[in-house]
Every structure is written in structure tokens, then in C-alpha cells.
Copies of this chain bind each other. A is one copy, B any other.
Amino acid sequence: MSEGVEWAIHSCLNLTWLEPGEAVPAARMAAFYELPPAYLNKQLQALARAGILTSTPGPRGGFRLARRPEDISLMDVVAAIEGPDEAFRCEEILRQGPGEHEGVDYRRRCVVSQAMRRAEMAWRAELAGQTLADIRATVERRNPSAPGETRAWFANLRT
């Protein structure tokens, strides 16, 4: 899995602590974790294309969440970075086998494909069940000062 997924989730999480309407440039978000600014910008662009973030150019511009944290699941973020297709893609090699049937869709018929798909669906369901709001709540419960500190860091120039 791409490393940008980790960056994207943490960046989106930080955005949940900002006041509504406030935008943060990609360079500032990159400085938070000392990441390559241009590359993080690329990932944030993907999130914007997926409708998770909205981007505004120009001074005082940057990225902000496009909808409420309750409506953004980890699955959404992962799909935005990694692409929509599944990790295990059935190439239907049974079609090349000796006992093939012409009009059969082996993506649904093949028992192996079904088993792999079932496992992947369990993974996706687990990710879809966790929203940014859930993550944020857990973090705040463990470290109540996180929201204020994060917001202050993005507001000031402090490292």
C-alpha cells in the first residue's frame, strides 16, 4: 500500500481540528510532519478530486475538509489515494484452463475469487466503519490538549 495513505489520514485528521472555513496550504501541512511538500501536495490533490477536500488557490488559500468528519470514513481516504479497484483482482485464469465455459463470469463464479473477495470485503467494512470523527474522538479522549495544540501550531509559526 502506498505510503501516502498514512500522510493523507493524519493530514485529514489535523484538518478536523481547524475552525470551519479555515484553509491550510500544503506546505504548512507538510512542515507539520516534515514531509516533502510537493509530494504531499500531490496526495492532497487526489483527496480533492475524490471530494474529500476542497482546494482554494491564492493567498489565504489551501485545503479544508469538504464535508463533516462524521461523513468521511477511512475507506474513503484509502480509496482516494489507492484507487477504487480491489487489491486482489481476479484475472480469470480459469478461462485459459481446460474445462472452461465460454460465457461464464469467473469473477463471480470462481471459488478462489469469492474467498479472496470475502476477505477483502471484511477489510473494507472495517475501514468504512471508522470515520474521521471516531478517530478524532479517541485521540481527544487520550490527549485532551491535542485540538488546542494542533490549532495553535497551524495558527502560529511555531515549530
Query: Taking the complex as formed, is A127 at the interface, i.e. its CB lies under 8 A from any CB of chain B?
Result: yes
Q: Name the CB-closest residue of B to A145.
A: B99
Please tell me if the beta carbons of A122 and B126 are within 8 angstroms of each other in the complex: yes
Complexed CA–CA distance, A149 and B100 (Å): 12
Total interface residues in chain A, CB < 8 Å: 47
Q: Is the interface of A mostly helix, strand, loop or mixed?
A: helix
CB-defined A-B contacts under 8 Å, sample of 21: A1-B88, A1-B89, A3-B91, A6-B88, A7-B93, A10-B93, A10-B94, A10-B112, A32-B97, A33-B93, A34-B96, A35-B96, A74-B119, A98-B149, A99-B143, A99-B149, A115-B130, A115-B135, A116-B127, A119-B123, A119-B127
